[in-house]
Amino acid sequence: MIYVLDPAERTVFTRTHCELEGMVFLLTITSTQTGMCDRAAMVSCAYELQHYMTAASNVEISHVQMLCPPAISRSGKWSLEDLDRITCFQGVASEDSAVVYRTSQGVYKMGDLDLRRKKTSRVWFSKKRLENHQPRMSEPAHKSTAHQMYAPLYLKPAPVFRANSQ
């Protein structure tokens, strides 16, 4: 089952199929409310991955993979690769930038910055950050017969408290 959040309508729809365009990230998640580990979250870019890891509540993230289209993997087919690191580089003497994705199977660079030039860098994702990730907890959702997402970003601001902070 595919769960799709419509933030404008504040509802969750279910679908039996979808089509993807471009690179996406697949996150293995476990509900902290139920202990169920039967779902994965899909986010569309490095920024959304970073946002999901900081804003999603009631899920533990145990694994992140990058689904690479043929244009990126240069293999003629889609490739699902374990994500190791995402680093954003910004040129010091230019406005150019680049994002480098390091996976279990390769290194992919997107952007115009010549990485041999002077630059600044910022790590957006790393395996170490994933290991140190602490799930955010919110009030338990009331039981509903409608389909629900474990961590519906943008659905509503939830009162947040950290595990073990009481």
At residue 78, the pLDDT reads: 94
Is residue 108 a part of any domain in this protein? no
Query: What domain range includes position 79?
Result: 2-84+127-153
At residue 67, the pLDDT reads: 96
At residue 16, the pLDDT reads: 85
> Could you tell me the two tokens for 94?
């230019």
Is residue 17 a part of any domain in this protein? yes
The pTM for the full model equals 0.78
Is residue 62 a part of any domain in this protein? yes
Return the residue matching tokens 């990730």. Answer: 133
Give the span between the Cα atoms of 42 and 138, in whole angstroms. Answer: 21
At residue 100, the pLDDT reads: 97
Is residue 131 a part of any domain in this protein? yes
111: left (phi over 0), alpha (psi -120 to 50) or beta: left
Is residue 89 a part of any domain in this protein? no
Is residue 33 a part of any domain in this protein? yes
Is residue 100 a part of any domain in this protein? no
At residue 73, the pLDDT reads: 86
> Could you tell me the two tokens for 85?
């690191």
Closest by CA to 108, choosing from 81, 126, 148, 142, is 81
Amino acid identity, residue 121? S
Per-residue pLDDT of the chain (166 residues; tens, 9 = 90+): 887 877 777 778 788 888 889 999 999 999 888 888 888 999 999 999 998 898 888 889 999 999 999 998 888 999 999 999 999 999 999 999 999 999 999 999 999 999 999 999 999 999 999 999 887 777 665 555 555 655 556 544 444 444 444 4
Handedness of CA 111, 21, 106, 38 (dihedral sign): positive
Is residue 107 a part of any domain in this protein? no
If one counts the domains in the chain, the total is 1
Entry field: residues in the chain: 166
